[in-house]
Amino acid sequence: MTQPRSAVDVRSLARRVLEIEARAVSALAGRIDESFARACALILACEGRVVVTGMGKSGHVGGKVAATLASTGTPAFFVHPGEASHGDLGMITRADLVVAVSNSGETAEIITILPLLKRLGVPLITLTGAPRSTLGQAASVALDVGVAEEACPLNLAPTASTTAALAMGDALAVALLESRGFTREDFALAHPGGTLGRRLLLRVADVMNSGAAVPRIGPDAPLSEGLLEMTRKSLGMTAVVDPAGHLLGVFTDGDLRRAVDRAVDIHHTPMRAVMTTDCKTIGPGALAAEAVRLMEQFKITALLVVDEHEVVVGALNVHNLFRAGVM
């Protein structure tokens, strides 16, 4: 039975793996040439979808490449090459383009469907460690992702080779993203359910309190009425507004502590005497993530929302943002 390795040996082996894979990825930079540019041009000209295929570990890489392309502006999906020859080839149309991932370039399941791809007339891009292989020679563009050695000590298990193929797939996706002018907003539209999507899509108007839920008080009202308004609306503040709703100032929990320190008469002191006039506000069309940034920058827990005429239209605090998942 093999003896377990010491912790020192395990760490040494792990470092070796990372060093080999880092060298494999680094070597790809010198292969970004005219072939890479042609591959990008073919994909940009594709009127259909990019169909990615690969077998075994290369198939797992292909699935990730397809997902990355799809989420960065290039419609793509993965087709298993074994299933393709049993009916799934029908997913591929003449308007599509195929990206095949195969380290050897001789994967039987992919070679089997080459004549059918040729009959359809779809462009073929390969990510292969053997550009002169059957698959490489059949391709419209063959991108060399070959590695000097696998990170596996037996030089057998796909490790460095799959990392290199994955990195080249990322290089394609990002180059295409830039070429298409893909924006943060476009990315968010493809990720509406995630935290990033919420941060890039949700607007202040989507999360703020509005209408009767917004705390408001007149400047001549006594402080006692302002405190009641704060309590009713539970935002830790109240806006101080004129009869037309224009913002004059804000009264917060912090202002209350300062008023107590000064021993003001809450029944006779008007709100205008204790409010803060230089208050931070935000517009309803701003990103909710911008509200988070303002709160963190100025160390505040709530914001008033005003329109272009400085009329108060809403209010929000950290709890609104937590519930919305952007904080």
Residues 147 and 51 in one domain: yes
Q: At what angle do helices 7-28 and 160-180 cross, to 10 degrees?
A: 40
Average pLDDT over residues 171-192: 78
The predicted-structure confidence for 117-139, as pLDDT tens digits, reads as follows 999 999 999 999 999 999 999 99
Residue 105: inside a domain, yes or no? yes
Average pLDDT over residues 253-266: 92
Average pLDDT over residues 293-297: 93
Residues 259 and 312 in one domain: yes
Read off the CATH number of the domain in which 213 is found: 3.10.580.10
Average pLDDT over residues 169-188: 84
- The identity of residue 26, as a single letter, is S
Residues 111 and 243 in one domain: no
Is residue 178 within 8 A of residue 40, CB to CB? The reply is: no
Please determine, for residue 182, whether its predicted confidence score (pLDDT) is greater than 80.
no
Please determine, for residue 205, whether its predicted confidence score (pLDDT) is greater than 80.
yes
Higher pLDDT, 134 or 182: 134
Calpha distance 115→235 (Å, rounded): 68
Q: How many CA atoms lie within 13 A of 272 on its CB side?
A: 8
Is residue 42 within 8 A of residue 141, CB to CB? The reply is: yes
Residue 199: inside a domain, yes or no? no
Residue 21 has what pLDDT?
Answer: 96
* Per-residue pLDDT band at 189 (split at 50, 70, 90): low
Read off the CATH number of the domain in which 24 is found: 3.40.50.10490
Residues 30 and 176 in one domain: yes
Calpha distance 100→71 (Å, rounded): 19
Domain range for 295 is 204-324
Calpha distance 52→320 (Å, rounded): 42
Count how many domains the chain has: 2
Lookup result for tokens 């570990």: 57
* Per-residue pLDDT band at 1 (split at 50, 70, 90): very low
Residue 195: inside a domain, yes or no? no
Please determine, for residue 192, whether its predicted confidence score (pLDDT) is greater than 70.
no
